[in-house]
């Protein structure tokens, strides 16, 4: 399935039905009365988060969505039926903005969450509505109001607890394939991963977390170079980043160069990402040169990023320790968030 995470669509809510001007004319009723019914309200356009969807692909091919218009009022006090709602299903984690103003309309983070993005027009009143003690035979009715019409920018941001970041060929796809059931494409050339991959990782007694593998970042990614810039937004919701390094390519003259380059891209894209909690993971220690260069990380990695993990995604060495450390960090982050909510009285 093609991964699509940004679309622009037009939505048009239903117009309200018009009210009716009518007078009762029946046999054996000597004096008629106004009996024009009200028009029905127009249908709303509603966006709903659907857990079964993982892409905005359907919205790329259909660019316009219209709700049903309200039925006109009729005589004999018959009110028009409300117009049909138009439901648009999107994946959980979708952000919706008004394309004209840039205003945030919704951030759908839970399954079944829904938002009205365009409200239907109100139906017009029939002449029966305007009867009063001083106006016994009104001959007026209201037209229905038009429904809202908008252009929307819809963006998908994956919901994951952990994001795996790093340079191309650091082993991100291999790692997610061995710690979860995800099956990304794996090859020995850069930019093998063209879209983010999601996987569920089990640890401890019945515990799990969701991990996202983000396509490789390169220097200049914040300006649009490479592929990773398109998907950096997907790590914006994560609680923790796994920064994967290819230990075999650590340079003795500047051991932290690759690590600093990726962190710089995070900061230039979004300063908040640079502050996100991060675990440094040195991969490919199954290679002799990879294991030998760990001492350079031991010597130079700042204390704030310790303990770091040394693993081999190929042989499985160090993976259990990594999953255990990630679980501990996530539980600490959730506890801190719960404390903040309690302090705020939420």
Structural domain span for residue 54: 6-156
Tell me, yes or no, whether 280 lies in a domain.
yes
C-alpha to C-alpha distance for 331 and 320, rounded to whole angstroms: 17
Q: How far is CA 279 from the centre of its chain?
A: 25
Tell me, yes or no, whether 29 lies in a domain.
yes
Based on the fold, state whether residues 255 and 145 are members of the same structural domain: no
Tell me, yes or no, whether 1 lies in a domain.
no
Which one of 105, 129, 156 terminates a domain? 156
C-alpha to C-alpha distance for 117 and 12, rounded to whole angstroms: 9
Q: String of b and e for 244-264 (b: at least 16 CB within 10 Å)?
A: bbbbbbbeeeebbebbeebbe
Which one of 123, 156, 189 terminates a domain? 156
What pTM value is reported for the model?
A: 0.75
Residue 33's alpha-carbon distances to 74, 75, 77, 90, 288, in angstroms, are: 14, 11, 11, 50, 97
**Could you list the pLDDT tens digit for every one of the 346 residues in the chain?**
467 888 999 999 999 999 999 999 888 877 889 999 999 999 999 999 998 888 898 898 899 999 999 999 999 999 999 999 999 999 999 999 999 999 999 999 999 999 999 999 999 999 999 999 889 899 999 999 999 999 999 998 888 889 898 888 888 888 988 888 766 555 454 444 556 778 888 887 778 888 888 876 655 544 455 445 567 777 888 889 999 999 999 988 888 988 998 888 888 888 888 888 999 999 999 999 999 999 888 889 999 888 899 999 999 999 999 999 999 999 888 888 777 777 777 6
Element (H, E) at 270: none
Based on the fold, state whether residues 208 and 134 are members of the same structural domain: no
**Helix, strand, coil percentages for the chain (3-state, nearest 5):** 25, 25, 50
Which one of 138, 156, 174 terminates a domain? 156
Based on the fold, state whether residues 221 and 275 are members of the same structural domain: yes
Based on the fold, state whether residues 268 and 323 are members of the same structural domain: yes
Residues in the chain: 346
Tell me, yes or no, whether 59 lies in a domain.
yes
């Amino acid at each position: 399935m093609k991964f699509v995470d940004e679309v622009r669509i037009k939505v048009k809510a239903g117009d309200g039905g018009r009210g009716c001007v009518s007078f009762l004319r029946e046999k054996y009723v000597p004096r008629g009365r106004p009996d024009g019914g009200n028009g029905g309200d127009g249908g709303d356009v509603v966006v709903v988060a659907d857990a079964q969807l993982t892409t905005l692909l359907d919205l790329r091919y259909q660019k316009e969505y219209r709700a049903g218009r309200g039925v006109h009022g009729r005589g004999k006090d018959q009110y028009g039926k409300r117009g049909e709602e138009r439901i648009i299903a999107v994946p959980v984690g979708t952000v919706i903005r008004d394309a004209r103003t840039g205003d945030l309309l919704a951030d759908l983070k839970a399954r079944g969450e829904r938002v009205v993005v365009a409200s239907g027009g109100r139906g017009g009143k029939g002449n029966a509505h305007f009867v009063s003690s001083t106006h016994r035979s009104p001959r007026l009715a209201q037209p229905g109001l038009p429904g809202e019409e908008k252009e929307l920018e819809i963006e998908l941001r994956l919901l994951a607890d952990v994001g795996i970041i790093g340079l191309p060929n650091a082993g991100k796809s291999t790692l997610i394939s061995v710690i979860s059931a995800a099956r990304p494409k794996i090859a020995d050339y850069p930019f093998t991963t063209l879209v983010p991959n999601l996987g569920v990782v089990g640890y401890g007694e019945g515990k799990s977390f969701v991990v996202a593998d983000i396509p490789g970042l390169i220097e200049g990614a914040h300006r649009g170079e490479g592929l990773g810039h398109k998907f950096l937004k997907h790590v914006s919701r994560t609680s923790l980043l796994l920064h994967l390094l290819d230990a075999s390519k650590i340079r003795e003259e500047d051991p932290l160069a690759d690590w600093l380059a990726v962190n710089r891209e995070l900061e230039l894209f979004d300063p908040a990402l640079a502050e996100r909690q991060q675990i440094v993971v040195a991969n490919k220690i199954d290679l002799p040169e990879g294991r030998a260069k760990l001492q350079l990380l031991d010597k130079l990695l700042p204390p704030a990023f310790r303990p770091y993990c040394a693993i081999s995604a190929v042989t499985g060495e160090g993976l259990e320790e990594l999953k255990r450390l990630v679980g501990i960090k996530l539980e600490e982050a959730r506890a801190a968030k719960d404390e903040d909510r309690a302090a705020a009285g939420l």
